[in-house]
Amino acid sequence: MVTRTYDPHRKWEPRIPTPGEGGKTSAMIASLAAEGYDAVPAPFGHALVAQARSDARIVGLTADLAKYTDLHIFAEAFPERFYQMGMAEQVMISAAAGMAREGFIPFATTYAVFASRRAYDFIAMAIAEENLPVKIVCALPGLTTGYGPSHQATEDFAIFRGLPNLTIVDPCDAIDVAQAVPALVAHDGPVYMRLLRGKVPSVIHKHCPDYQFELGKAKLLRDGKDVLVIASGFMTMRALDAAVEAEKDGISIAVLHCPTIKPLDTDTILAQAGQPGRLVVTAENHTRIGGLGEAVASTLLTNGVTPKFRMIGLPDQFLDAGALPTLHDRYGISTTAILSQIRGWL
């Protein structure tokens, strides 16, 4: 038997876990747990079925990941409108483009990392350039899996934000996901939407009962005088939880939910960030390069709005594998880590 000595400088060596590392959450997590909130099973799948009942143009395609993108619910309801394309994202995107040209509204699902890295050129040439109404809906966005860089789509916004015609959506919870589906159907153009799947927390209505998703619009879910957090995706949930905790210490945090990354709701962001005396913080489940934080920073600077500004996001590196609670703490996107950073900046 040949034994090997661990060398941290050799990239192909497995990382050795430290004693006690881990957690209750498995590495290949499908659902994002959230204490204190009800969970809704497969909101995307059920919302898509509801839309498809009244719109025969809707078809579903997946790259061998129906069960892991909740598209199996659509497949059961409309087997004649479901297409299993196998492990071939490029083929799936090309087929979706062809269907869109024939008058259909295709929803194509895979993992975010495969759409953004593997199928980018096909999305650019076959869909975005032609401005076709293909909806690319992708699970495991950012750091929502512990399987390491091969499955962690931490740079998908940076990849897609420069692509003309493409709308980018990052919903917070089950409510956002379900309400986004009809908006995507109504939008006459291509969309890339990050997907929280499985049992998805229902968060927003607990803090803002009258919330309604609108494509291209940011919504103030909670007001506050000390800090404004501009967040997207599940980081909005984390920001809301941090705001509740901070209130116990007399810190007042406003949370502006920005589910549409492109086009950015610049009017709302400028109006909120322009209020004097507040620290402005962006929070995203994405690398700090090329995502929501940089988009907001550019918006503020080019419009002459210059509050004290900080960004919370993932580091510019390939992330470790492991249990998600451990990784979220390590990379600064847990509720505790968000609150600690904000306290340090005040």
**Token pair listed for 254:** 């406003």
CB 27 within 8 A of CB 326: no
Distance between CA 289 and CA 112 in Å, rounded? Answer: 17
DSSP secondary structure code for residue 131 in this structure: T
Pairing of strands 227-231, 105-111: unpaired
Distance between CA 172 and CA 327 in Å, rounded? Answer: 19
DSSP secondary structure code for residue 196 in this structure: -
The stretch 42-70 carries a mean pLDDT of 97
Predicted confidence at residue 147, as pLDDT, reads: 93
Distance between CA 139 and CA 195 in Å, rounded? Answer: 5
Predicted confidence at residue 36, as pLDDT, reads: 82
Predicted confidence at residue 110, as pLDDT, reads: 98
CB 97 within 8 A of CB 128: no
Q: Which helix (DSSP H) or strand (DSSP E) does residue 227 occupy?
A: strand 227-231
The stretch 72-90 carries a mean pLDDT of 97
Residues belonging to the active site: 89
pLDDT band at 258 (very low <50, low <70, confident <90, very high): very high
Q: Which amino acid is at 238?
A: R
DSSP secondary structure code for residue 70 in this structure: T
User: What is 206-345's CATH topology?
Assistant: Rossmann fold (3.40.50)
User: What is 39-201's CATH topology?
Assistant: Rossmann fold (3.40.50)
CB 40 within 8 A of CB 31: no
Distance between CA 124 and CA 134 in Å, rounded? Answer: 12
Res 28 pLDDT > 60? no
Res 184 pLDDT > 70? yes
What DSSP letter does each residue of 257-317 carry, written as one string? E--EEES--HHHHHHHHTSTT-EEEEEEEEESSSSHHHHHHHHHHHTT----EEEEEE-SS
Predicted confidence at residue 33, as pLDDT, reads: 61
Q: Where are the beta strands (DSSP E) in 150-233?
A: 167-169, 191-195, 199-201, 219-222, 227-231
The stretch 251-276 carries a mean pLDDT of 98
**Letter string b/e over residues 254-280, b meaning 16 or more CB atoms within 10 A of that residue's CB:** bbbbbbbbbebbbebbeebbbeeebbb
Any idea which residue has 């502006």 for tokens? Answer: 256
Instruction: Return the bridge partners of 314, or none.
Output: 287
Res 108 pLDDT > 50? yes
Average pLDDT over the chain, rounded to whole?
92
CATH topology match: 39-201 vs 206-345: yes
Res 331 pLDDT > 60? yes
Give the angle subtended at the CA of 55 by the CAs of 54 and 60, to the nearest 5°. 120
Predicted confidence at residue 247, as pLDDT, reads: 97
Q: Say how many residues make up the chain.
A: 346
Res 164 pLDDT > 60? yes
Q: Which helix (DSSP H) or strand (DSSP E) does residue 77 occupy?
A: helix 71-77
**Token pair listed for 157:** 């916004």
The domain spans of the chain are: 39-201, 206-345
CB 256 within 8 A of CB 218: yes
Closest CA to 100 of 117, 116, 120, 122: 122
pLDDT band at 343 (very low <50, low <70, confident <90, very high): very high
